[in-house]
Amino acid sequence: MQELLGRLRQLDPTASASLRVIACFDELMAGGVGTDGLLSAAAALSGSVVGVRRAENAPAIRIGTQGERLEAAAPTGIVRESNGMTVWIEAPSTDAGPNEAIIIERLVLALHVRYDHVDAPLKRDISVIVDHDMAAEDRVAAARRRGLKDGVAYRVVVAPLFALWRTHPRGPEDVVASAVGPVHVAIVAADAAPVASPLGVGIASDLNDLDLSFRTALVCLRLAEPGTVSRADDLGGLAEILADTPANARPDRDEAAVARLVAAHAWARATLDALMQAGSVREAARLAGIHHSTMTTRVAVIADELGLAPLDGLGRARLAVAVMRHRMRASRALELPPPRAKTSGRPLSA
């Protein structure tokens, strides 16, 4: 699939975008995602409010681009009628471009599949389970409703809506609004190994701490390199420290210094990564593939900018936190839209 997308991107960006939309909805349908989750995905993909009304006299459900429920309103924009159901994308124009056309087509199909298999949409328990602001008893009750068991360890995994899954998660899943946008969330057994490109895997926890597992998974997703699976276990306690950092937190002094280094020196990011992994300047030079004397010079530049010795004591910990906070802020893992279409219509946004 990834190879096909790459070849199509060179020939027809619109076709590439269509395949990505189809893949996204196929994954959501395979996971049994509810009505709100499907609408959230369509809203995120189209960049517009999306709505559905199951029958003429039924209440309308409208979802915003951040996955939030909005007040009911009459259909407007691009409207599709299908077997008594009305689905719409509140786009500026009533004429669907290639992006809107494929989104609404797949959304209508997904909703029909959803309603054909389940009499009423499931409650959106996943967003409750992973919400740190919800009362603990409400989170645990929601987890039990979705079949999760007391005394069993689980992990939350988080992927962008456009992730390409090689091993699909087995467990309850949904599209959930987060501080950095809508994400595909699944709760799996602690020893499960779902694989997606990219994917963030949270810490193992019981029903009481699945909200923390979600936040550490989101940290890992933001730290993930393209095409990789990033795991909270590899970060240890740093995962929880970073999880407690608000998405819009002001850069502290150390992070600001790292940002200046990365902006000023092409070698900074690779060198900083090597220093975080190494126990000495010589080992860092080996990891970075440069001469020891070159690394020594770079370490002096870094130490001068940061005001600390990056390989000594507390300086090492400060460096690691600052570099990871900078990488999270600069992350593009959740900003992977398909290529801009050549024909009319607005580009998709992830």
Which stretch of DSSP H or E encloses residue 328? helix 313-330
At 14, the pLDDT band (50, 70, 90 cuts) reads low
Angle of helix 35-46 versus helix 13-30 axis, rounded to 10: 160
pLDDT value, residue 34: 85
pLDDT value, residue 10: 54
Instruction: Say which residues have a Cβ less than 8 Å from residue 305's Cβ, sequence separation at least 6.
Output: 257, 260, 261
- Residue-wise pLDDT tens digits, 23-71: 678 777 766 788 898 999 899 888 899 999 998 888 999 999 888 899 9
Average pLDDT over residues 65-94: 90
The rounded mean pLDDT for the chain is 85
- Residue-wise pLDDT tens digits, 145-198: 999 999 999 999 999 877 778 887 888 888 787 888 778 899 999 999 888 888
Cα separations in angstroms, 115 against 39, 69, 109, 121, 238:
14, 19, 10, 8, 43
- Residue-wise pLDDT tens digits, 260-316: 999 999 999 999 999 998 889 999 999 999 999 999 999 999 999 999 999 888 999
- Of the chain, the percentage scoring pLDDT greater than 90 comes to 52
- Asked whether the predicted pLDDT for residue 200 surpasses 90, the reply is yes
Question: Would you say 204 and 194 are in contact if contact means Cβ atoms under 8 Å apart?
Answer: no
